[in-house]
Amino acid sequence: MADRFYEAPIDDYLPQNGNRGYRVSRYELDLVYKVTANRLAGRATLTAVTTAARPRFSLDLSQTLSVAKVLVNGARAAKYTHQHGKLVITPQQHIPAGGALALVIQYSGVPKPVRGPWGEVGWEELSEGSLVASQPNGAASWFPCDDHPSSKASYQISITTDSPFYALANGILVRKQTKASQTTWVYEQPEPMAAYLATIQIGPYRKYRLGAPHDPVPIQAVLPARLRADFEHDFANQPRMMEIFTERFGPYPFESYTVVVTDDDLDIPIEAQGISIFGANHCDGRRGSERLVAHELAHQWFGNSLTVRQWRDIWLHEGFACYAEWIWSEAAEGPTADQLARAARHNLSRERQDIVIGDPGPQRMFDDRVYKRGALTLHALRLELGDTAFFDLLRDWTIRYRHGSVSTEEFTDLAGHYSTIPLRPLWDAWLRAEALPQLPPLT
């Protein structure tokens, strides 16, 4: 008889990722990183509850990292195998459904990004330091985890590294201690977080405060000193963006917001929970990346607080963040959202009409058409509902599902409560068909 361990994928977009039989509520990561050698040693403590009785449990962990020891529920070392990116652990004792599952894993190695259809994601070396950019499945490049967006937990991340470097992780810095040539930084992230949104940023950085001391959401910047003057110009509107988005989307979902600018250039900015990471090339002294600054901030609501349950619904992250760019432009007295939407639709009409953004497929989940047509879907909805109902809906959406997992069906169901007419034709046209619909006229 086939073992129940081998089951259908949790997510068809990432069939190798995610694990059944338990739910993690907390990760405690105690990491030591040597920058020049790119060497990582870790002790990961996972607190979980079993959802089924089974002989063994699996975690996602890259083969570039070697496991030295595994403990289960404090017992002596458990048996395990580590193959094909899966760490499979066999407890010595039977654990019933609903039982405690406390795992301690000691591991080390040279962390490298995970290769996939979307390029390389995960832990990456910089000229001086490192960054983590894990969307969608790179978390396993640096710690053992349940690497699926529907699995959210609290985190404590301790990172010990060479003292000249600044180390940043998600959440609030609760302790910092220097001994000899190394400094330990301990961060606490109490709000639930998907593994791909966990991050560590290490570099020759300094921390600065943005905005006024009395601003309701503290905003920090972590960047090389040489970029500070350009940064202060390029990111000067960040506090105003926070104010606009809080008004439009509801309360900011975390305690603070940090913008990192690396000393290296990056192809695209990177989102993490409570943190956005930009390359030195995004800090040009001309505000050339302000659209991206707005996009990454919006992900704190759409993607980080509200995280998709399945990757097929990624338009709920990227369409919303793209639409936030247009909302910011409108608030900053640039082109209106309607002007930007009609220009975007015109551009899309010249491309192939062969994508369904409500289920684009794994190869196309990061296709720019998912971003732009997702934003157009929201603009079509805004034109249908009117501004008052539309923004009431967005605030209801972010507050109702704060720190949770979401689906397209939940959003469309909620939107129905704000409309006097059925919205099914709108969803069918924009999310479920390949042909690009027309935008309604602006009334």
Catalytic residue flag (residue 371): yes
Cβ 279 vs Cβ 264: under 8 Å: yes
Catalytic residue flag (residue 191): no
How far is the C-alpha of 284 from the C-alpha of 16, rounded, in Å?
40
Select from 273, 353, 367 the least CA-distant residue to 319: 367
Select from 307, 423, 422, 437 the least CA-distant residue to 373: 437
How far is the C-alpha of 145 from the C-alpha of 17, rounded, in Å?
10
Burial of 127 (0-12, 13-18, 19+ CB in 10 A): exposed
Q: Tokens standing for 211?
A: 């905005």
List 188, 191, 290, 296, catalytic entry: 296
H-run or E-run covering 148: none
CA 56, chain centre distance (Å): 29
List 371, 384, 410, 418, catalytic entry: 371
Q: Which residues are annotated as a binding site?
A: 295, 299, 318
SS3 of residue 60 by DSSP: strand
How far is the C-alpha of 331 from the C-alpha of 246, rounded, in Å?
13
Q: Which residues are annotated as a binding site for Zn(2+)?
A: 295, 299, 318
Phi, psi angles (nearest 5°) of residue 404: -115, -170
Cβ 157 vs Cβ 151: under 8 Å: no
Q: Tokens standing for 2?
A: 């086939």
* Alpha-carbon distances of 233 from 229, 347, 379, 391, 414, rounded to whole Å: 7, 31, 30, 30, 40
Burial 58-73 (b: 16+ CB within 10 A, else e): bbbbbebbebeebbbe
* Alpha-carbon distances of 281 from 1, 261, 292, 328, 443, rounded to whole Å: 56, 9, 12, 22, 40
Q: Which pairing describes strands 65-72 and 57-60: parallel, antiparallel, or unpaired?
A: unpaired
How far is the C-alpha of 49 from the C-alpha of 57, rounded, in Å?
12
**Catalytic residue numbers, as ranges:** 296, 371
